[in-house]
Amino acid sequence: MYIGVIGAQLVGRDIPAEKRVEAQFKAAHHLGVPYLELWGPDWHEPGAVDRVGELMDRYGIRIELGFGDDYIGNADKQPTERFAYLVENVYRPLGVKVIGTGSRLHGGRWLKEPPLDEQLDRLAAALARLAPVAEAGGVILAIENHADYRGYELASVLERVGSSGLGAKLDTGNTYTVIEEPLAAAQALARYTVATHIKDEVVESEPGNRGLPMKGLLALRDCVLGEGHVDFAGILPLLAEQGPLGNELVLTLEVPRDTIRQSIAYAQQAFAKYLSG
């Protein structure tokens, strides 16, 4: 497996757009990681793909990219043209095989309208239109548990679509927002997982509201990897043994900016038996 970082967490929004892409590569290079989840650029801008390709060669860093849409709203009318354009003109030329995505319906399973079953039906219908495009282009669209659905719910969608062009992007911290243990999500999604967001969370439960910051029964606090409640010792073997990519999977760290170096150090030690190179 390989360690990756998220570019949007490495550079500030105050950096001019024309310098933002290279700034992400420089920051990832200084951290010594081989993968970067790239923020931007505008792929319709002339020369954008060539410039990113040059930066990849210069810094020896491979990239991860994403694709987003309103899958719940689009359902069986899901447009495919934009995705097909990106597959042909961006993802494939840059050697990106896995494209992360999300349903853009935060709080999904907690919404009363549309009901959960209908949401999952719509999500499956929309992804079923995109999956053949991914298959034809030799890429995989990886749907994230994006603080919206539980692992087994997304697994049911993936099973229903049944395409080699569709997989999962396992986020190890988002599971708590749907009242699910990270290990349970991994058990449901490991066989589909082709991308990740690796993060840890401190779970604070205080019945009676005795001082919780959010004034509720449950609060989550971002932290350095290894200092929270996520069971990495249980999750990593599942991903290595059951995941389609095995030890070629990228472990993309999604951690607070001021903890990145500490979290990389933890991952390098705790995940050492699974890391390549």
Instruction: Tell whether domain 2-200+229-274 is in CATH 3.20.20.150.
Output: yes
The rounded Cα 227 to chain-centroid distance in angstroms is 21
Q: pLDDT tier at 267 (50, 70, 90 boundaries)?
A: very high
Q: pLDDT tier at 211 (50, 70, 90 boundaries)?
A: low
pLDDT at 248 exceeding the cut of 70: yes
The strand pairing partners of 66, in sequence order, are 100
Q: Which of 263, 268, 258 is nearest to 230 (CA)?
A: 263
Hey, is 259 helix, strand or coil?
helix
Residue, of 264 and 104, whose pLDDT is higher = 264
Hey, is 255 helix, strand or coil?
coil
The strand pairing partners of 62, in sequence order, are 35
Q: pLDDT tier at 215 (50, 70, 90 boundaries)?
A: low
pTM equals 0.95
Examine residue 41 and say whether the peptide bond preceding it is cis (omega within 30 degrees of 0).
Answer: yes
Q: What would the mean pLDDT of 195-208 be, rounded to a whole number?
A: 88
How much is the pLDDT for 210? 61
Q: What would the mean pLDDT of 253-268 be, rounded to a whole number?
A: 96
For residues 178 and 135, what is the distance between their CA atoms, to the nearest angstrom? 30
pLDDT at 207 exceeding the cut of 70: no
Paired tokens of 211? 């001082």
Cα distances (Å, whole numbers) of residue 128 to 41, 93, 163, 197: 27, 24, 8, 24
For residues 167 and 158, what is the distance between their CA atoms, to the nearest angstrom? 7
Tell me which of 16-25, 55-64, 127-136, 207-216 is least confident: 207-216
- What would the pLDDT profile of 22-76 be if each residue is shown by its tens digit? 999 999 999 999 999 999 899 999 999 999 999 999 999 999 999 999 999 998 8
- What would the pLDDT profile of 154-170 be if each residue is shown by its tens digit? 999 999 999 999 999 99
